[in-house]
């Protein structure tokens, strides 16, 4: 992967829980890493759901290889939360292609 193509900073987050001090587990997101990525728009779609039009925005991001990514994590890009729906390997431990979706 050429470093010049990785021109956007993204934040990868893990879903975790924390103790709120009263013995209750509170769901939260913690930062796993801040990395450089290339970003491109993928096909978006509109569909009807519960009598309202919903937007489904899709992005494809390419990052350097990591072995700690899963689809239950999320990516923050331009202050928008994106869910990881698929992770594809690029080459042999060269990089990863993340397929993301966000609402709105």
Angle at 35 between CA 80 and CA 63, to 5 degrees: 95
Rounded CA gap, 61 and 91, in Å?
Answer: 15
Whether this prediction's pTM lies above 0.85 is answered by no
Residue carrying structure tokens 């209750």: 24
The four Cα atoms 78, 69, 96, 46 give a dihedral, to 10 degrees, of -50
What CATH fold (topology level) applies to the domain 3-103? Thrombin, subunit H (2.40.10)
The predicted model gives 79-102 an average pLDDT of 94
What are the sequence ranges of the domains in the chain? 3-103
Per-residue pLDDT reduced to its tens digit, 57-76: 789 999 999 999 999 999 99
Instruction: Provide the β-strand partners of residue 11.
Output: 34, 76
């Amino acid at each position: 992967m050429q470093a010049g193509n990785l021109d956007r900073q993204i934040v990868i987050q893990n879903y975790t829980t924390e103790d709120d001090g009263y013995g209750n587990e509170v769901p939260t997101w913690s930062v796993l890493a801040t990395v450089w990525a290339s970003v491109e728009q993928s096909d978006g779609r509109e569909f009807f759901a519960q009598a309202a039009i919903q937007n489904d925005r899709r992005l494809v991001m390419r990052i350097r290889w990591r072995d700690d990514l899963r689809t239950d994590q999320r990516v923050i890009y331009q202050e928008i939360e994106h869910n990881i729906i698929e992770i594809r390997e690029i080459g042999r431990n060269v990089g990863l292609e993340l397929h993301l979706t966000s609402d709105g």
